[in-house]
Copies of this chain bind each other. A is one copy, B any other.
Amino acid sequence: MQTLPEAGDTTRRRRSSRGTTGRGGRRVFNFAAGPAIMPRVVLAQARDEMLDWRGTGISVLEMPFTGPEFTEILARAIEDLRGLLAIPSNYRVLFLQGGAYAHHAMVPMNLLRGRERADYVETGHWSRRGIAEARRYCRVDVAASGERDNFTRVPPRQTWRLNPDAAFCHITTNETAQGLEFHWTPETGEVPLVADMTSDFLSRPVDIARYGLIYASAQKNVGPAGLTIVIVREDLLGGALPGTPTVFNYKIQADHDSRVNTPPTYAIYLAGLVFNWVQGQGGMPAIERLNRRKSAKLYAAIDANGFYRCPVAPADRSLVNVCFRLSDESLEARFLAQAHRRGLLNLKGHRVMGGIRASLYNAMPEEGVEALIDFMEEFSRHHG
């Protein structure tokens, strides 16, 4: 077996200002599904401000959450996010803890509002988790399922059976494990549309007004694990189940600007830095263009010959989690090991699905995608 040259051996790559260098100055690209790559300039700013936030003499980590400095950081982060996504004024933005999995429970606890049932669309691993958790609080009707297609396509809207008595209709806009994404927003009439947007949040513009509630763990495009963002239409608040923990009662948190208890202050600070970075990239339209370009290149490389294959229907392929297989699956372990040695990190697919997964979140530079494609072409030449 011939050993492939190291991608990081080229001086051009090693010196790139957008890359990241590992042991011995080797360039690495981190394709992890989350926690995931963050913008280098954000990390550099966090590093520079770690011991002294703007002359205060203290770290953001040390700030009282009710003090003027953190109050400013929090307000600014919310304002910047509102601007980026053009969030209408009748929506509240909450910065909470727990992760999307916690909010799989909190969404029905907060949104049932006296109703007893909710519609869920089953599109893969994460929507299934959401369904299983919701079933502990209400009757869940699966309005549509992609199971028959092995979750390789989003069930078309005309096949959905929606119940007008449902408290809400829940979708998972991007299935991180399957690499499947909604590229359209379903119309659900009077029933509020609720979306777990964890893995494609902030990867593209969203028409917030089409949704009743959006929630997202931050550890994909926003950055740090430990922060969950909830965007909710005000009129849906106030009908939480009696057993809803106070800190997860969206109405109470909205009334207290997410400060019913100590929020995850440092994660919010980092999120704010990322929001600034996204602004600097040109906002959501520019980010979406870049993400489309990156994923289109990679899918083209996958489809180029029979060596690789992507089972997901082209119209429903994820822009952020590109999942594929080697036609000869017995080569996948070798592919992953050689990729790792080339500095192409964390390409292993979700543990349930197997295969290869390249997560191309906002912070992944186009150069990283090109390095992966170069490697894939070389690997297929050596093993084809």
Contact = CB atoms under 8 A, between A and B. Distances in A.
A306 interface: no
A302 interface: no
Contacts of A261: 99-102
A78 B376 CA distance: 39
A28 interface: yes
A64 B226 contact: no
A225 B70 CA distance: 13
Interface stretch (A148-156, A163-171, A263-271, A277-285): A263-271
Number of identical monomers bound together in the oligomeric complex = 2
Interface in A216-236: 217, 219, 223-227
A44 B50 CA distance: 8
A152 B144 CA distance: 60
Contact of A247 (B28, B99, B136): B99
Contacts of A57: 20-23, 26-28, 30, 343, 345
A34 interface: yes
Interface stretch (A238-246, A323-331, A366-374): A238-246
Interface in A199-228: 217, 219, 223-227
Nearest to A60: B35
A147 interface: no
A345 B52 CA distance: 14
Interface in A21-62: 21-24, 26-28, 30, 32-38, 40, 43-44, 46-47, 50-52, 55-59, 61-62
Interface string A115-147: 000000000000000000100110000000000
Contacts of A30: 57-58, 62
B223 A61 contact: yes
A298 to B, nearest CB: 20
A246 B133 CA distance: 7
Contacts of A343: 57
A248 interface: yes
Nearest to A65: B35
A225 B35 contact: no
A111 to B, nearest CB: 15
A262 interface: yes
B247 A101 contact: yes
A47 B49 CA distance: 8
A102 to B, nearest CB: 5
A228 B8 CA distance: 40
A346 interface: yes
Given A30-B58, A57-B345, A266-B266, 17 more contacts: A20-B51, A21-B52, A22-B57, A28-B57, A35-B265, A101-B246, A101-B260, A102-B245, A102-B247, A104-B245, A105-B245, A105-B246, A133-B246, A136-B242, A137-B243, A225-B265, A226-B227
27 contacts: A20-B58, A21-B52, A24-B55, A30-B58, A30-B62, A35-B62, A35-B64, A40-B51, A43-B51, A43-B59, A44-B50, A61-B223, A98-B247, A99-B261, A101-B246, A101-B260, A101-B261, A133-B245, A136-B243, A217-B262, A219-B262, A225-B262, A225-B263, A225-B266, A226-B226, A226-B265, A226-B267
Which 10 pairs between the two chains have the least Cβ-Cβ distance? A22-B57, A226-B264, A23-B55, A28-B57, A105-B245, A101-B261, A47-B50, A97-B97, A226-B226, A32-B64
Interface of A: 20-24, 26-28, 30, 32-38, 40, 43-44, 46-47, 50-52, 55-59, 61-67, 97-102, 104-106, 133, 136-137, 217, 219, 223-227, 242-243, 245-248, 260-267, 270, 343, 345-346, 351
